[in-house]
Amino acid sequence: MTDKPVRYHVVHETRYEYGSPVSLSQQQLHLSPRVLAWQQIEEQRVDIDPVPSWRRDGQDPFGNPVTWIAFHSPHEHLILRSAMSIAVTPHLPKNIALSPPWESVRDLLAYDSTAPRSEDLDAMRFLFESSHVRIKHELAAYALDCFPPKRPILLGAQALMAKIFKEFTFDPEATTVSTPILEVLEKKRGVCQDFAHLMIGCLRALGLSARYVSGYLLTRPPPGKPRLIGADASHAWVSVYAPDCDNDWVDFDPTNNLLPNTEHITVAVGRDFSDISPLRGIILGGGGTEPEVAVTVTPLDEEEIPAGLLTPVDAASGKAKVDLPKAQAKPVGSAEKSAEKSAAKLGESALDEMESDEIAPEEMKPEEMKPEEAALDKQAEKQSAAAVVQAAAGVPAA
C-alpha cells in the first residue's frame, strides 16, 4: 500500500432564491473541512453573496471549523459557495482484529469513581442520546449478535456495518431528516444519514461511543463521460471509539460496507446530523423556498478542475467578482430535497412565536448597531412574517 496522498478539489454550492425579501437572517455554516492527521487542507474559502453584515469564524464544541454570519438588510437570495483543495493520506487501521474486546471498552466508558483519561472523557460525549439518536433496547438487540463475548470492538463494528448494508435498502423517498431510527429499523430503508444514525444508536445502546461524520465521497462518472458539475453529494458515516488503536477513532461507512480511506473527505464530526448540518439558521421573511444544492468532487491527480468551477474572487470583499456559476442541482426527488423540506417545516412550527430581536447575533449589543440597522430591527418587529429555521443544505444522500 502506498502512503501517497490523494488530492481533491471540492466545490459545495447552495442557492436560495427567496419568494419574498428576507429582512433579517442569522446562519451557522459547517462548510470548512476539519484538519486531521491524514487530511491536510491546501486551500479553502467560503464565498457568500450577498456579503453578510457580520461574520465570525471559529470552532464549535467538537473542534470543527464553523462560520457564523448575519444579515441586517433585506435580500432576495443567498448563495454560499465553499471551495477547497485537500489531500487525503491512506489511513486504514493496520489490523482491526487486534483492537480491544468490546466489553473492555464499554467498561472503560462506564461511570466509576476513578478519574478517566482525557481521551476517554472526550469520547464520553458520544456515549449518550442526542437529538436524532435515541438509545433503545431494540437497537441493542439488533446489534448484539455482532458483538459476542470477547470479540474485538472493531470486528464487531465491522460486522454491524455489514449487517446494515445487507439488510437495508437505499431509498431517498423512504425517510426525511426527522424520521426516528426505530422507524428506519422497522422499514429497513433510508439514506446514508439514516444508516449512520442507526449504527450509532446500536453502538451507544451497547455502551460504546460512536460519532456522526459528515463529508464528501468521490463518485466516478460513467466510462468515457466527463464529470458533471454538481453531480456529487454530501455523505455521512460513523466513527467508533477504539482506545489505543490508530488515532483512537476508526471510521465505518454502513451505506457502502467499507472502512473509509482516501475517497472519503471529512468535514465535521458530531453527536448526530443536527450538530453539524452544513447550513442551519433563522430567517425573518422569505416566504416558501427550497435550496438548490450542488457538490462537485474532482480528483486532481486524474482530472482538471471543470472550468465552470474556477470563479475569480475579490480578496478584499470575499465576494465573487462575477456571478457564481449555477451548478447542476439535484432532482426534486433526491434526499437533499426531502430532508431540507422536512427541516424547514419543523423549524417553522417550532419558531412561530419567536420574537424578532432573538435573530440578531448574540455578540452584537444594541448600542453597537448602526442607526440604520437599529431602524431596520424596529421595522422587523412589526412584520408578520414568521421566523423559520433555514433548511439544512447538503443533507447527505450519497
Task: List the domain boundaries for the chain.
Answer: 6-88+277-390, 96-273
Q: Please give the pLDDT value at position 178.
A: 87
> If you ran DSSP here, which 8-state letter would residue 330 be given?
P
What are the start-end ranges of the H helices in 146-255? 153-167, 181-187, 192-205
Nearest Cα neighbor of 29 from 64, 77, 74, 73 is 64
Residue with cell 476508526: 250
Q: Is 126 helix (H, G, I), strand (E, B) or coil?
A: helix
pLDDT digits (tens, 9 = 90+) for 92-148: 998 999 999 999 999 999 988 788 888 899 999 999 999 999 999 999 999 999 999
pLDDT digits (tens, 9 = 90+) for 374-393: 444 444 443 333 334 444 44
Task: Specify the CATH architecture of the domain 96-273.
Answer: Roll (3.10)
What percent of the chain clears pLDDT 90, i.e. is strictly above it? 63
Q: Do domains 6-88+277-390 and 96-273 have the same CATH topology?
A: no
Q: Please give the pLDDT value at position 341.
A: 38
Q: Please give the pLDDT value at position 322.
A: 32
Hey, what CATH class is 6-88+277-390 in?
Answer: mainly beta
R_g of the chain, CA atoms, integer Å: 22
> If you ran DSSP here, which 8-state letter would residue 127 be given?
S
Angle between helix 102-109 and 153-167 (nearest 10): 100
Residue 305 is placed in which grid cell?
478542475
Beta-carbon contacts of residue 89 (< 8 Å; ≥ 6 apart):
3, 4, 5, 6, 38, 39, 40, 262
